[in-house]
C-alpha cells in the first residue's frame, strides 16, 4: 500500500516556502514603498514667541507682542497620484493676539499660500504641478529619510534662497532623540515695496520704492533620523524696510528673537515620528528576519514529515517477513 504525503507536511512546507519568499520581498519592495513621503498629509504646526511688528493702523512698530505663526500642510492626493510626486499645499499665517481670532487667514498680519512638490524618495524638489515658488535645497518642511550627521541645505521661503545648516549633534525633544541643525541668515535684500517716503525718512518724497531686507539670527531644527520629520523648529526672523540705497533699517516690519514650536506641536511631531519610525524599523529588521526564520523552521518541519511519510509508505509496501 503506497502512502501519500500528509496534509500537515504539505501545509508546513507551503507556509515555510511562502515566508522564505516573503522575507526578501519585504526588504526589496515593501520597505522602499513605506519609505516614501506621504501624499495624504494634513497637519498643522504652530510657532509662538515674543517680538515686534508694524501696526498699519498706527503706522508704527509695536514691541513686546506675542507673535504666532501657523502653518497648515495638506497633500493634494489627486495631483500626487497623477504625477507620482508629493504635492503639498502650504498655508502660513503670521498673527498677533489682535488678528489671531480672525476666521479668515487673509485677515492675518501676513499670509502666504505655497505649493511644494518633491520627489517622494529623495525629498529633492520637483518642478512641476504648478509648483509655487520654484525652490531648491535638501530640507524644507521635512528632511530626507535616514537623516545623516552632516550639513544640509535648507530652503528659506522668506529669503527665497537656500541656507546652509550645520550639524550640531544629537538632542532630545519631548524625550525623543533627534539630530540638531542650526543656521543663520545675514541681512539680505529681498525686494522692494512702494511706501510713503516719510515712513523711511524721506518726508519730501510722497512715494518711494523702499528696500525690503530680511535676516534670521537663529535657525534651529531638530529632525527625527529615521523619518526626517521635524520635531522642533525655532527661528529669529527680522524683516525691515530701508530707504533706497540706505545701510540702515528705517522700519521694522516683523522681528522676533526666538519664535519656536509650541509644546503641543512638539508632542504632535514626536508622536507622528515615533509611529512612522516603528513601522520602518519593523520592516527593515525584525519582520523580514522573523519571517525568514519562521519560514525556514516550517519548511524544515514540513520536509521532515514528508520524508518520514514516504519512508513509512515504502515499509508498508514490503509487507511482513515470512518465517519458513
pLDDT digits over 236-265, tens only? 999 999 999 999 999 999 999 899 999 999
Strands 110-118 and 152-156: unpaired
Rounded distance between C-alpha atoms, residue 170 and residue 3, angstroms: 65
Radius of gyration of the chain, Cα coordinates, nearest whole angstrom: 31
Strands 176-196 and 161-173: antiparallel
Q: Please tell me the predicted confidence (pLDDT) of residue 28.
A: 46
Does position 324 have pLDDT exceeding 50, yes or no?
A: no
Rounded distance between C-alpha atoms, residue 70 and residue 66, angstroms: 13
Q: Please tell me the predicted confidence (pLDDT) of residue 189.
A: 97
Strands 86-95 and 237-242: unpaired
Mean of per-residue pLDDT scores for the chain:
83
Percent of the chain with pLDDT over 90: 64
Q: Give burial (CB, 10 Å; 0-12/13-18/19+) of 83.
A: middle
Q: Looking at the DSSP assignment, which residues form a beta bridge with residue 210?
A: 193
Rounded distance between C-alpha atoms, residue 230 and residue 143, angstroms: 7
The predicted model gives 109-138 an average pLDDT of 92
Q: Please tell me the predicted confidence (pLDDT) of residue 290.
A: 54
Rounded distance between C-alpha atoms, residue 149 and residue 223, angstroms: 11
Q: Which of 136-140, 156-160, 218-222, 280-284 has the lowest mean pLDDT?
A: 280-284
The predicted model gives 14-26 an average pLDDT of 51
The predicted model gives 76-101 an average pLDDT of 92
The predicted model gives 185-203 an average pLDDT of 94
Does position 307 have pLDDT exceeding 70, yes or no?
A: no
Considering only residues 180 and 18, tell me which one the structure prediction assigns the higher pLDDT.
Answer: 180
Rounded distance between C-alpha atoms, residue 267 and residue 263, angstroms: 6
Q: Please tell me the predicted confidence (pLDDT) of residue 276.
A: 86
Q: What is the pLDDT of residues 34-69, one digit of tens each?
A: 678 889 999 999 999 999 999 988 888 999 999 999
Grid cell listed for 114 = 505655497
Instruction: Give 167's pLDDT tier (boundaries 50, 70, 90).
Output: very high
- How long is the chain? 324
| pTM > 0.85: yes or no | no
Compute, in degrees rounded to 10, the torsion defined by CA atoms 273, 276, 278, 283. -150
Q: Please tell me the predicted confidence (pLDDT) of residue 67.
A: 95
Rounded distance between C-alpha atoms, residue 116 and residue 105, angstroms: 19
Percent of the chain with pLDDT over 70: 75
Grid cell listed for 42 = 494634513
Q: Please tell me the predicted confidence (pLDDT) of residue 5.
A: 56
Grid cell listed for 173 = 525633544
Q: Please tell me the predicted confidence (pLDDT) of residue 3.
A: 54
Does position 322 have pLDDT exceeding 50, yes or no?
A: no
Rounded distance between C-alpha atoms, residue 86 and residue 77, angstroms: 8
Q: Please tell me the predicted confidence (pLDDT) of residue 107.
A: 78
Q: Please tell me the predicted confidence (pLDDT) of residue 318.
A: 52
Nearest CA-CA partner of 27 in 280, 284, 291: 284
Distance of CA 104 to the CA centre of its chain: 26
Rounded distance between C-alpha atoms, residue 230 and residue 271, angstroms: 11
Amino acid at each position: 500500500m503506497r502512502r501519500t504525503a500528509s496534509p500537515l507536511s504539505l501545509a508546513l512546507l507551503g507556509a515555510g516556502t511562502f515566508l522564505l519568499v516573503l522575507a526578501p520581498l519585504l526588504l526589496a519592495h515593501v520597505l522602499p514603498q513605506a519609505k516614501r513621503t506621504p501624499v495624504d498629509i494634513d497637519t498643522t504646526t504652530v510657532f509662538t514667541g515674543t517680538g515686534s511688528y508694524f501696526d498699519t493702523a498706527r503706522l508704527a512698530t509695536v514691541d513686546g507682542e506675542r507673535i504666532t505663526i501657523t502653518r497648515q500642510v495638506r497633500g493634494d492626493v489627486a495631483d500626487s497620484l497623477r504625477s507620482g510626486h508629493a504635492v503639498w499645499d502650504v498655508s502660513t499665517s503670521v498673527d498677533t493676539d489682535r488678528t489671531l481670532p480672525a476666521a479668515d487667514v487673509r485677515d492675518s498680519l501676513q499670509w502666504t499660500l505655497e505649493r511644494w512638490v518633491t520627489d517622494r524618495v529623495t525629498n529633492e524638489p520637483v518642478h512641476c504641478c504648478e509648483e509655487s515658488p520654484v525652490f531648491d535645497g535638501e530640507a524644507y518642511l521635512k528632511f530626507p529619510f535616514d537623516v545623516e550627521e552632516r550639513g544640509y541645505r535648507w530652503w528659506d521661503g522668506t529669503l527665497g534662497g537656500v541656507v546652509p545648516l550645520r550639524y550640531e549633534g544629537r538632542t532630545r525633544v519631548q524625550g525623543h532623540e533627534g539630530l540638531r541643525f542650526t543656521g543663520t541668515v545675514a541681512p539680505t535684500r529681498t525686494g522692494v515695496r512702494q511706501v510713503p517716503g516719510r515712513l523711511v525718512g524721506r518726508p519730501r518724497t510722497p512715494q518711494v520704492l523702499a528696500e525690503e531686507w530680511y535676516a534670521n539670527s537663529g535657525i534651529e531644527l531638530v529632525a527625527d533620523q529615521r523619518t526626517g520629520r521635524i520635531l522642533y523648529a525655532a527661528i529669529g526672523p527680522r524683516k525691515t524696510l530701508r530707504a533706497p540705497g540706505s545701510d540702515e533699517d528705517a522700519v521694522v516690519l516683523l522681528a522676533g528673537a526666538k519664535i519656536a514650536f509650541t509644546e503641543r506641536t512638539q508632542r504632535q511631531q514626536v508622536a507622528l515620528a515615533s509611529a512612522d519610525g516603528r513601522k520602518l524599523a519593523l520592516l527593515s529588521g525584525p519582520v523580514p528576519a522573523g519571517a525568514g526564520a519562521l519560514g525556514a523552521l516550517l519548511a524544515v518541519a514540513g520536509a521532515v514529515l514528508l520524508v518520514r511519510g514516504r519512508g513509512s509508505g515504502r515499509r508498508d509496501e514490503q509487507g511482513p517477513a515470512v518465517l519458513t
